[in-house]
A and B are shown apart, each in its own frame.
Chain A
Amino acid sequence: MLELNSVDAFYGQAHILHDISLSLATGGRLAVLGRNGAGKSTLLKSIMNAGPRVRGEVRLEGELLDGIGASDRVRRGLSLVPEDRRIFTHISVKENILLAQQGTERKSGLPTLEEVIARFPLLRDLVNRLGGQLSGGQQQVLAVARAIAARPRLMLLDEPTEGLAPVIVEDLAEKIVEACATYGIGILLAEQNLWFARQCTSRVLLLDSGSLVFSGDWAEFDASTDLVERYLAV
């Protein structure tokens, strides 16, 4: 479904990603690990065309996405949950969800608001609350719910566990996997929380200084004993 061939990404003159190639099948679930500054967010934003300047091929369902802006990529089935959540504070939880659904411009096939809320019961009592009145954790859950409500082919999740309490993290992993299985949503997850990444995905990429240093499934990851030590330990 998603394919990157020799992708390089830049911020101004700074060369951030080097020669990244990867592919992800429909409904596939892939984790991107790496230290702070490794380039995880840059990779997700490059796929979305939402910031970095990108060279190389990004294909979705075979279509080359060259020159297609972020909002048009939404309509082709991508959805990004950014690392800083970016909930709109001036509108309600419900309206945040509706806004994301409107962005897809799809007339059918989207989950109803009630279905979305049923999947994320934490939001039930907050439906009419303004985005700005939510706690950080609630905003994070809303950010994920908002992306799922758009029912993308592929959801790009950027460190959704950052700053969340451990109980919520556990619950969120379960909710994400369940919803994505139901709606046929693939996942590309940037994470530093190994436990969460393992729950949500079946394959792993490891980034270091903008280059891919490992790609495989979790069993292979565990078999390469020095990976965590070399690329993830602080």
Chain B
Amino acid sequence: MTMLYLYSIFNGLVLGMAIFLVSAGLTLAFGIMKIFNFAHGAFFMIGAYVAYAVTGQEASSLWIFLAAALIATIVVGSIGVLADLTIFRRLAGVPADYTLMAAFGIMLFCTGSTRIVFGQGIHAIYPPAILGGIADIGIPISYYGLFIIACGLAVFLMLEIGLNRTWLGKQILAVARDPWMADVLGLRVRRLKLISVATSFALAGLAGGLLVANQALSLDLGHSYLLLAFCAVIVGGLGSIRGAFIAAIIFGLAESLNSVLMPTMPGISSYALLIILVLIRPHGLWPEQSQ
């Protein structure tokens, strides 16, 4: 019995890190654009398709798998640059609703284009052989799960250090917190926003490339994590990387334990948690203060 719990805790951590990988870019975009980027799930999906296009059903080595994820990061990040230059930047001065609708439109456009390029089918994707194994230490621990945990931690640390310790990151946070003053001080606000939006999209692409294995790759892939990622961003505190990280782990564990404890009511504990946490911490677990 204990083993079952330990196993589901491990799975919960893996799921939590996967949720974080998706929510990292989402919360970053919120910090800058002050909207939920509905297109984020679609870009996650495109990242997965790009990786699939590089590796096929199974990457022949870990390096190919990582290279594919990197290519997905770059491709989707570049689409982010385009989206900012052609769409988001133009909407900077108008109410946020318009940006929200634009994001929705981009989502439809992305799903449509992906359908044209890759078709409707569902593809089974496997991790490279080296990550396909399982270590039995009393409970079966999949290498791919460990790999995802490591990736989540690495992305978290990179963002934490990148945003809080580097001069570029501090400038990006300045724009996120007070774009008006950043402009009045002479900062290149549009350039800094472009970097943030591109980073946000690149993170979606990276998440797609890393999480594509062990999934049924289809046009619906974007939806699979997006709901939980939205929850993590809300509960963590809109725009807060640390908050999203903690909340993603909480939701991952909740989902996983839920399936052991209440298998007949899937997902119920996530909804309960969302409601409870928003009631007791309406500004999030780790609110990003803004001015």
Contact = CB atoms under 8 A, between A and B. Distances in A.
Given A86-B291, A89-B291, A99 B185 contact: yes
A75 interface: yes
B184 A88 contact: no
Interface string B166-183: 000011011001101101
A48 B183 CA distance: 10
Interface residues of A, number: 25
A184 interface: no
A100 B185 contact: yes
A90 B240 CA distance: 13
B189 A71 contact: yes
A95 interface: yes
B185 A82 contact: no
Contact of A150 (B186, B189, B291): B186
B170 A103 contact: no
A88 B186 contact: no
A71 B185 CA distance: 6
Contacts of B181: 82, 86, 88
B185 A74 contact: yes
B187 interface: yes
Contacts of B264: none
B172 to A, nearest CB: 11
Given A71-B189, A89-B289, A89-B291, A80 B174 contact: no
Contact of B183 (A71, A102, A132): A71
Contacts of B174: 88, 90-91, 99
Contact of B171 (A51, A70, A99): A99
Contacts of B289: 89-90, 132
A229 interface: no
Given A88-B174, A99-B174, A50 B186 contact: no
A231 B54 CA distance: 73
A71 B177 contact: no
Nearest to A91: B170
Contacts of A88: 174, 177-178, 181
A50 B184 contact: yes
A105 interface: yes
A104 interface: yes
A130 B171 CA distance: 15
Interface string B186-201: 1111000000000000
A37 interface: no
B170 A90 contact: yes
B170 A86 contact: no
Given A71-B188, A71-B189, A132-B289, A90 B173 contact: yes
Q: What 10 pairs across the A-B complex have the smallest Cβ distances?
A: A103-B186, A74-B186, A86-B181, A103-B185, A71-B186, A70-B183, A71-B183, A70-B184, A100-B185, A88-B174
Interface of B: 164, 170-171, 173-174, 177-178, 180-181, 183-189, 289, 291
12 contacts: A51-B180, A69-B183, A70-B186, A71-B188, A75-B186, A82-B181, A86-B184, A88-B177, A89-B289, A99-B170, A99-B187, A103-B186
Interface of A: 48, 50-51, 69-71, 74-75, 80, 82, 86, 88-91, 95, 99-100, 102-105, 132, 146, 150
Given A71-B188, A91-B170, A100-B185, 16 more contacts: A48-B184, A50-B183, A71-B184, A74-B185, A88-B181, A89-B177, A90-B170, A90-B289, A91-B174, A95-B170, A99-B170, A99-B171, A99-B185, A103-B186, A103-B187, A146-B185
